[in-house]
Amino acid sequence: MADFGNSTNHLLDSDATSSVGNSDGTNFNTSINPNHNNVNNISNNNNVEKPKSSKDDFVPINYAQTDSVITSADELRTKRNFYNQFNALFRKSATYQWRQYKTNLCQIILPLLLILLLFILQVVVDNFIKDQEGYKTPEDLHPQPYLPAFYQSNETALEECKESIGVYPRSLVYIDSSDQSFIPDMTANITAYADQRIVFLIFAVSFVGRYATYCQYSPSIINPLTLNNVSDSIVTFNDLTYNEWKTNPYIGGYNFKNVDSNNFELSLLYNNSNSFGKELPTLLHLASRAYLSMVSTNPIKVWFDGIADFPREEKLLAFDLVSILGPILYIFIFQLPLPVVLRLVLYEKEKKLREIMKMMGLEMKTYWLVTYIFSYSIYLISMMLVWLFGSIFQFKYFLMNNGLPIFLIIFFWGHLLVSFAFFLSVFFSKTEVGTVIGYIWVFGTGILAGNVILKILDSPSTPDSSLFAISIVPPFVLFRALYIFRREVTFDGVGVKISTMSDSRNEIDEIIGFMIVEAIIFMVLALYLEEVLPSDYGVKRHPLFFLKKSFWTGERDESMTNEVQLKENVQGEPRDVRDERRRIKEVDQLLALEILDLNKVYPAHGGAKEKLAVKSLALGVDQGICFGFLGTNGSGKSTTVSCISGLFPPTSGTARIFGLDIRTEIDKIHMIMGITPQDNVLWDDLTGEEHLLFFGRIKNLKGQELTDAVNRGLKEVNLHEENSKRSGQYSGGMKRRLSVACGLIGDPKIVLLDEPSTGLDPFSRACLWDVINSYKRKCAILLVSHAMEEVEALCQRVGIFINGELKCIGGCSELVSRFSKGYKIMINAEQGYEQEAQKYLMDLIPQATLLTSIAGTSNYEVPHGSIEMSNIFSAFEENKERLHITDWGISNSSLEEVFIKVALGRQGDDGEFIVDEPVTISNINN
Ligand SMILES: Nc1ncnc2c1ncn2[C@@H]1O[C@H](COP(=O)(O)OP(=O)(O)OP(=O)(O)O)[C@@H](O)[C@H]1O
């Protein structure tokens, strides 16, 4: 069994090189850091129960150093309190929204500006119309012919026609003539008046045929046909009207289908591009009159005065621009909060704020509830102001329609809008992209509604099925309501009243029904897809998770609790790593963290290949100790931390925290976990104090306990004097310190610190170490770091990762004594004299091994006992100037040498690491 009690502090005279943590007897070099707690202390811990000896003498050492041993997860406060969490998030969101008042004000004001614009346009239109005459029906109420017609025959017609010029600028002339020879003559005369823009219809009995066109600019005598060849001319008629409707703008044409002395079957066609068809009654009358002349020996005179509007009371011209433009503009206004809500949700998603809240224990249903309340409130305030200003500006749209239907539509549309925004947010991870798409959606659907949907709704023949289809799309169901409000106030309507809102004409109740159902569907879809759709962060559930009993009862999902069979060993694994596997299984105290054959594969993505980031990792972190994760860049440290904290799901294997499995009980784990991620995840607009208050409340702190914890946290990281500053105004180091304080608040039982001291000045770093030191024993700490001195100062145990694999594990001094063969000599020579200095040292101590040679500084490892220390001193002091040595020194081997050996050395057959080549810049680059 290992003797851990006799470690001595020696620099040169120790020859202790055996490995530790396994069965062979071992002495240690102590760390050069006097604060360091080496394994000797660990083994002396009172809490350690006597390890059981197994058959092969393997001793599963318990490294726990806690003040109060936890024997089961049931002893931990893992319960979340809905009220506390709601209170925490509500206050945080309220403060945050208040700080965002400029943005929020802009969002509220934008719709109001559109309302104001509408109002100004209406004022301009009203002023224009005020100067125009109103219209009223003439007092004698005689209908006026739209086209005055003359019924004349032969030469008289032409004379009459001439006289009428100037009186009736557009005239119809009916010529009852059986004299064929008269026609060309007639044509010539009429053509002479063409520039007067007289409209003639030459219509002689002998011309009655398939067609006779009525042309505005030239007399329509084209290939006159007689009754004899009527049947062949339909093609000509079609050609003429089809081909020449633009170049020769006929207003209309007759199609005499079946005309003889007994029949008068006629179609009257008119050119919709040139005429609104008001001439048609007159034209029809002319044709009938001609026929009567033809068939009757004694023509009957049938007078036709023309057409006229109904008599009505005098009324000034009015143009209700607001009501007419209303639905088209309101569809934009009512949808404008959509991108705003999208932005709100996506901001916290993209910045990982949602994930950090989750990792700190916030329940997601509370998150969605509070986010819903704030999103809806922003919408409601904005829309109420639109309504208020619309009423102040006397928009008929808001005054004539009853307040209740308007309120109901605003109220329910808000719910649909927020649910729909939540639903859309699932598909985006970048705030900017989501917001831009949101605006495109608002304007795209607005334009579509104003053009296509408006026409469909306008059409009286639109079937119910089309209305149903329209109502399925959220903006269009809103447009249906807006359209009804407009229809009921324009053209002398009285507006939608409470009594008429549900009738078959308005169907406001049906529209509200659509909104409610869709709001529920989109909300359920949003929450469901958030749970199952793969995204950048978060552990996703099985698509059919809702079919499991555990989902409805809240019990543990038994199907996920299959025991992970920890492998005995993995091929090529060093002995200490293999022994750690065994220790996890056999140690007789509950471990704060057990990582059990954890693998993480990142799938191929955007041209990058699939990446095995963590390979069969197995290790245990005991209660109350600080465990250091060292490793080269990209060796999988942060990935491991992310898997443990529930940011990513492991591909296989699992981890347990105080016996709670990350696959099934991550919610409970989050309540006893504190985390400081690699990046600072903070709200730019909240102060340090507000951050700590928020996370403290989530962890169920309240009252004086909360105040004390917040004050202590701020003081510990030296931010108590920056109380009023928002974190966005912090320096990088201050942000880092705040992140650490957030991770430590609320008495967590395990804390994950991912490079906590990055960017800190030496003073702040020393303060931070003090804080972390003071938390040891209260909780287990997993510290990811690149700073060797930090790990040496804080960690009782260390694991070194290379390429996703754990390469060695043990106490700091244990590793140093195991991997270093002696002590270290450093020499720094002037540029160009490095070789000479190196040669001198190798001649002096031939057993020395050059470890690193970078920027003129060479580091050697010198075995203990190879030379007297006093000889080294005298040799260097005497030859310093001659060899151009600027600096030199002797030190005990440190973790750094261990790291270099493990990271850049090769593993020998005995599992030890050998450095063949000294580390130089070119070696590192290779
Ligand atoms: N989201 C990701 N998608 C794909 N690959 C990833 C992702 N995150 C990390 N990786 C890859 O996984 C490997 C391990 O990365 P990780 O961030 O865990 O390393 P690390 O040890 O924390 O590095 P560092 O010390 O630089 O922070 C790297 O090769 C990295 O490129």
**pLDDT recorded at residue 487:** 86
CA of 429 from ligand 1 middle (Å) equals 19
Lowest mean pLDDT among 9-18, 68-77, 226-235, 800-809: 9-18
- For residue 623, the tally of other CB atoms under 10 A from its CB is 27
Confidence of residue 803 (pLDDT cuts 50, 70, 90): confident
Instruction: Report d(CA 533, CA 122) in Å as an integer.
Output: 49
CA of 650 from ligand 1 middle (Å) equals 14
CA of 242 from ligand 1 middle (Å) equals 72
What tens digit of pLDDT does each residue of 518-552 get?
999 999 999 999 888 877 666 677 788 888 777 77
| Residue in this structure with the two tokens 């197995």, named with its chain if needed | 618
Query: Which residues have a Cβ under 8 Å from the Cβ of 404 and sit 6 or more positions away?
Result: 498, 501
User: Residues 810, 797: contact at Cβ < 8 Å?
Assistant: yes
Q: Give the distance, in angstroms, between the CA of residue 757 and the centroid of all CA atoms in the same chain.
A: 31
Confidence of residue 591 (pLDDT cuts 50, 70, 90): very high
Average pLDDT over residues 828-833: 86
Query: Which residues have a Cβ under 8 Å from the Cβ of 333 and sit 6 or more positions away?
Result: 111, 114, 115, 386
What tens digit of pLDDT does each residue of 85-144 get?
999 999 999 999 999 888 888 888 888 888 888 889 888 888 877 666 555 544 444 444
Q: Is 141 exposed, middle or buried (0-12, 13-18, 19+ CB in 10 A)?
A: exposed
Alpha helices in 400-473 (DSSP H): 403-425, 431-448, 454-458, 464-472
> 820 by DSSP, 3-state: which?
coil
What tens digit of pLDDT does each residue of 357-394 get?
999 999 999 999 999 999 999 999 999 999 999 899 88
- Atom 6 of ligand 1: nearest residue by CA position: 602
Amino acid at 71: T
The reply to whether ligand 1 has any atom less than 6 angstroms from the CB of 638 is yes
What tens digit of pLDDT does each residue of 169-217 get?
334 444 444 454 544 454 555 455 444 433 344 443 333 333 444 433 3
Instruction: Report d(CA 886, CA 875) in Å as an integer.
Output: 14
The reply to whether ligand 1 has any atom less than 6 angstroms from the CB of 26 is no
Q: Is the pLDDT of residue 825 over 50?
A: yes
Q: Which backbone phi and psi does 676 adopt, to 5 degrees?
A: -120, 100
CA of 611 from ligand 1 middle (Å) equals 9
Average pLDDT over residues 41-70: 59
Q: Which backbone phi and psi does 886 adopt, to 5 degrees?
A: -85, -30
What tens digit of pLDDT does each residue of 210-251 get?
344 443 333 333 333 333 333 345 666 666 667 666 665 555
Rg (CA), the chain: 46
Lowest mean pLDDT among 93-102, 435-444, 885-894: 885-894
Q: Is 351 exposed, middle or buried (0-12, 13-18, 19+ CB in 10 A)?
A: middle
Which of 352, 602, 647, 754 gets mutated to test ligand 1 (max ligand atoms within 8 A of its CB)?
A: 602
| Residue in this structure with the two tokens 């009980």, named with its chain if needed | 665
**pLDDT recorded at residue 649:** 86
Q: Is the pLDDT of residue 148 over 60?
A: no
Atom of ligand 1 nearest to the CA of 786: 25
Lowest mean pLDDT among 204-213, 325-334, 681-690, 726-735: 204-213
Q: Is 394 exposed, middle or buried (0-12, 13-18, 19+ CB in 10 A)?
A: exposed
Q: Give the domains, in start order, of the chain with CATH numbers.
A: 149-295 (no CATH), 323-532 (no CATH), 560-812 (3.40.50.300), 820-925 (3.30.70)
The reply to whether ligand 1 has any atom less than 6 angstroms from the CB of 677 is no
- For residue 766, the tally of other CB atoms under 10 A from its CB is 12
CA of 566 from ligand 1 middle (Å) equals 24
The reply to whether ligand 1 has any atom less than 6 angstroms from the CB of 642 is no
Average pLDDT over residues 448-458: 88
Q: What strands lie across the sheet with 780-784, from one edge to the other?
A: 673-676, 750-754, 780-784, 626-631, 797-802, 805-810
Q: Dihedral through CA 282, CA 287, CA 289, CA 290, nearest 10?
A: 140
**pLDDT recorded at residue 588:** 83
The reply to whether ligand 1 has any atom less than 6 angstroms from the CB of 613 is yes
User: Residues 904, 919: contact at Cβ < 8 Å?
Assistant: yes
The reply to whether ligand 1 has any atom less than 6 angstroms from the CB of 611 is yes
The reply to whether ligand 1 has any atom less than 6 angstroms from the CB of 636 is yes
Confidence of residue 77 (pLDDT cuts 50, 70, 90): confident
Question: Tokens at residue 570, please?
Answer: 């993995």
Residue 668 vs residues 30, 60, 201, 641: alpha-carbon distances, Å: 39, 28, 93, 17
CA of 924 from ligand 1 middle (Å) equals 19
Tell me the sheet residues that pair with 270. Answer: 252
Question: Tokens at residue 135, please?
Answer: 């219209």
The reply to whether ligand 1 has any atom less than 6 angstroms from the CB of 602 is yes
The reply to whether ligand 1 has any atom less than 6 angstroms from the CB of 634 is yes
**pLDDT recorded at residue 643:** 92
Q: Give the distance, in angstroms, between the CA of residue 880 and the centroid of all CA atoms in the same chain.
A: 64
Is the model's pTM score more than 0.80?
no
Q: To the nearest whole number, what is the mean pLDDT of the chain?
A: 77
The reply to whether ligand 1 has any atom less than 6 angstroms from the CB of 639 is yes
Query: Which residues have a Cβ under 8 Å from the Cβ of 401 and sit 6 or more positions away?
Result: 485, 488, 489, 495, 496
Handedness of CA 110, 115, 116, 118 (dihedral sign): positive
Q: What strands lie across the sheet with 213-215, from one edge to the other?
A: 213-215, 250-259, 264-270
Query: Which residues have a Cβ under 8 Å from the Cβ of 196 and sit 6 or more positions away?
Result: 165, 169
The reply to whether ligand 1 has any atom less than 6 angstroms from the CB of 354 is no
**pLDDT recorded at residue 686:** 94
- Atom 22 of ligand 1: nearest residue by CA position: 638
CA of 803 from ligand 1 middle (Å) equals 10
What tens digit of pLDDT does each residue of 58-76 get?
777 788 777 788 888 888 8
